[in-house]
Amino acid sequence: MSVDLQARIPNNVDLAGDRRLQRALEHWQPAFHDWWLERGPEGLQKREIYLRTAVAVDRAGWAHYDYVRMPDYRWGIFLSPPEPDRVIAFGDHAGEAAWQEVPGELRGPLRRLIVTQGDTEPASVEQQRRLGAIAPSLYDLRNLLQVNVEEARHLWAMVYLLFRHFGRDGREEAEELLMRQSGAVDHPRILGAFNRPISTWLDFFCFTTFTDRDGKYQLAALAESGFDPLARSCRFMLTEEAHHMFVGETGIRRIIARTAQLMQEDPNEDARTRGGIDLPMLQRYINFWVSESIDLFGAPDSSNAATYFAAGLKGRYQESKAGTYADHLLLEGTHSIERPRADGAIESDPVPMRRATNALLAEAYLRECEKTMTRWNQPLQNAGLSFRLRLPSPRFNRKIGPFADALFLPDGTPTDDPDEVAGHLPDEGDRAYLESLQGEAVMERAQCAQWIAPPTNPINKQPLDFEYVRA
């Protein structure tokens, strides 16, 4: 897999060998740059940022660090190396050779999967564009911008597939990806969570913990795809996704550490009077972003999901990993899925396995989220505090699936009272308080806002007081 870094679009897909495709992508490139300047990180385009750039897909090359002005970032097209003689691991085509070209009958569903994934990438950049002005430290600012440039690279990954494999339709979809806009009334992004405002760093850290983790599970399911170029794109994107979740999880952990310290210092264990983020408010933000993120998995009983699985387009989490599953056909058996009855009681329905693959993916996701909660509660336990953060029940605040039409509390019990539900979600008061707390960006080396503990994990082994962003 030779890497062409000198080309206008760095790539390891031999763009130079396909002049038509190369010209088409070079034609899209200026529109992408305009989008980045207009809707990417605000006010920081002239700064030098200490960023990681993918320059190859092997261990040494995929994480090259240097100071870069963001408009000069080398967004490239990189696929993971091909697996020789790869076969499809699941569904009706299990055991057949993976496809290098799109099978005609799967064109529609495959295009929809790629466009839906692709749409989330620029959406999150748009959602996060104003956070730089209120960053708690240079370290956090750098991490935000790293996430942003990589989401933009993920857009490139999906756009490449559209141009290379979907002809004129693909070109039109690529243009649409730059036209839709997060939160816009008339032309919003495709999925709910990607239209919600991210106006505070608490939103950002929750989003990168829970919504980027949904991204990880969607990419993992697509990395199993029988359409090999999609599988290889997603595998490489997964290597970058890990950092996004790291940013979120360590960000919240530092908030908790700071809050625990403030609670210990206060006679009433009140972090808020001491300028911190209190735990009940943090819990409300967790409730919001977890429930929004579970919705991204789609309906737990889904005929689309069954079609994707049967066709070999989207597998289960780690479908092809040896020893994970015995049955890759899912023609037999059922999976039990909860539904509320009209009287508020919950019943469990057996759903044929293929129809339940969204539910299986969401359950794997929630198991990983539980581990995060255990890690977040550790500093509270260490400080001798009794408060524990929890994942909300998957019944809470849902807009998709069987629980969308009924009201439930975070502990999973039914209620008739919308105000009681709203009380478990962030409100205007929370936002106003966070805005007052977050003030202006902290732009001095080694300094950090008072509501979050200083960073503890170096980036590329640099000291924590490193000048991660310079004028």
Of 154 and 355, which has the nearer Cβ to Fe ion? 154
- Give the pair of three-digit tokens for residue 32: 């992408």
Residue choice 119, 212, 214, 295 for contact with Fe ion (CB under 5 A) = 212
Cβ atoms of 452 and 446 closer than 8 Å: no
Choices 86-94, 116-124, 327-335, 440-448; region in contact with Fe ion by CB under 5 A: 116-124
Instruction: Specify the stretch interacting with Fe ion by CB under 5 A; choose among 39-47, 60-68, 213-221, 376-384.
Output: 213-221
Q: Rounded to the nearest whole angstrom, what is the least distance from the CB of residue 395 to Fe ion in the complex?
A: 27
Least Å distance, CB 151 to Fe ion, is: 5
Residue 154 found at the interface with Fe ion (CB under 5 A): yes
Select 119 or 212, whichever has its Cβ closest to Fe ion: 212
From 22-30, 77-85, 99-107, 150-158, span contacting Fe ion (CB under 5 A): 150-158
- With CB under 5 A as the contact rule, the residue among 244, 253, 314, 354 that binds Fe ion is 244
The CA distance from 154 to 123, in Å, is 11
Minimum CB separation of residue 365 from Fe ion in Å reads 14
CB atoms within 10 A of CB 255: 25
**In 45-137, which ranges are continuous DSSP H helix?**
107-127
Q: Token digits for 168?
A: 């004129």
Residue 55 Cβ, how far from Fe ion at the closest point, in Å?
Answer: 19
Cβ-based nearer residue to Fe ion, 140 or 151: 151
Comparison of 164 and 216: residue with beta carbon closer to Fe ion: 216
Report the residue number, 121 or 301, with the smaller CB distance to Fe ion: 121
Site residues for Fe ion, 177-206, by CB under 5 A, read none
The amino acid at 124: S
- Residue 454: partners with Cβ closer than 8 Å, 6 or more residues away: 137, 254, 448, 464
- Whichever of 121 and 249 has its CB closer to Fe ion, that residue is 121
Kindly state the smallest distance separating residue 240's Cβ from Fe ion, in Å. Answer: 7
d(Cα 236, Cα 123) in Å, to the nearest integer? Answer: 20
- C-alpha pair distances (Å), 288 with each of 182, 322, 410, 413, 426: 18, 36, 10, 17, 7
Q: Which of these ranges, 95-103, 212-220, 348-356, 405-413, lies near Fe ion under the rule CB under 5 A? A: 212-220
| Burial zone of 452 (CB within 10 Å; 0-12 exposed, 13-18 middle, 19+ buried) | buried
Note whether 93 and 312 are within 8 A (CB). yes
Q: Is 151 in the site for Fe ion (CB under 5 A)?
A: yes
- Closest to Fe ion by CB, 234 vs 391, is 234
- For the CA atoms of 148, 152, 155, 160, the dihedral, rounded to the nearest 10 degrees, stands at -150
Give the phi and the psi of residue 262 in degrees, each rounded to 5.
Answer: -65, -35
- Contact range with Fe ion by CB under 5 A, out of 115-123, 129-137, 274-282, 447-455: 115-123
C-alpha distance from residue 342 to each of 42, 366, 411, 420, 421 (Å): 48, 26, 19, 20, 18
Residue 154 or 314: which CB sits closer to Fe ion?
A: 154
Closest approach of Fe ion to the CB of residue 117, in Å: 8
Q: Provide the binding-site residues for Fe ion, judged by CB under 5 A.
A: 121, 151, 154, 212, 215, 241, 244
